[in-house]
Amino acid sequence: MQKNDPYSVETQLKKREIDPHSYSWYETDYSAYQGRVDESSWAGRRVYGRQVTSPWGRDSDGSVVSDIWISGALLNTLSRIPGVTVFHRLRAPGTPKVTLNTKFPIEHAVLHGSTVYLVDPKANYWSRLALHWTRKSSGRYGIGPKAHFSYNHEGLADGARRFATLPGVQQVIPLLAVKGLEEPIPADARWSPQGVGLFAVNEMMEFIGSNIVASLPHWRDNPDLRAAMIDLRERAWFTFN
């Protein structure tokens, strides 16, 4: 009898009690919109960038790298919606084009039409972490009295400003995904003063997917923006392919 692979997407999703089929957009019929993307300009490819692929990054202990991998795998499911392109490990526009640019990395991005979602999946909740935003003396915002994850927030806020300069961008929505939440996120903590959203992983997936589906009737493809984002792919080694 074959044992379950502890490193598989299915096993890890079950461990985290995440079921993509529960998302309102997952089983929707999109056939009416399939012909509105010129796939000849991008070979129909819907996922770009370097993703964690090694068992070290896909462990069952909930490491940061594992969180990056599982969030990336979930975001890839959005590519079933017509016109969606998912990116992993991008450098922000206007930052140095070098290998392993760890100062300005965007872990995940989702493009649909002229709207860009930026995702950082590396926030972890623990019971003593108060869910409110705090401004540090440096000017950075973070979660709780000690402003945890302020660097993650700064990267998203700065990334949103930089991605807004790309051709034809109408909206950039930066999202900080937090795992391990034991209580709902208060309404006054949902968005930081700089416009970064705070979401549990399942909430984030529903938020992005349902927003995209709602925009389908008036959505228009933006091949120039897609090409600009493809050019932002980071070149790296080790666990990223």
What does the pLDDT look like over 21-31, one tens digit per residue?
Answer: 999 999 999 98
In a domain, 144, yes or no: yes
Give the range of the structural domain holding residue 81, as residue numbers without chain letter.
9-20+42-230
In a domain, 31, yes or no: no
As for how many domains the chain has, the answer is 1
Q: Residue 97 has what pLDDT?
A: 74
68-72, 101-105, 169-173, 206-210: which range is least confident on average? 101-105
Q: Is the pLDDT of residue 44 over 70?
A: no
* 238 found inside a domain: no
The DSSP bridge partners found for residue 88 are 49, 108
Range with the lowest mean pLDDT among 65-69, 121-125, 191-195, 231-235?
65-69
Instruction: For residue 218, tell me if it sits in a domain.
Output: yes
30 within some domain: no
Say if residue 217's pLDDT is above 80: yes
| Residue the block writes with tokens 């370097």 | 50
Residue 34 lies in a domain: no
Among 1-5, 207-211, 216-220, which range has the highest average pLDDT? 207-211
Grouping H, G, I as helix, E, B as strand and the rest as coil, residue 176 is: strand
Mean pLDDT of 173-193: 91
Contacts with 96 (C-beta within 8 Å, 6 or more apart), sequence order: none
Under the banding of pLDDT at 50, 70 and 90, the label for residue 188 is very high
Q: CATH number, domain at 108?
A: 3.40.91
Q: CA-CA distance, 58 to 103, in Å (whole number)?
A: 24
Does residue 219 belong to any structural domain of this protein?
yes
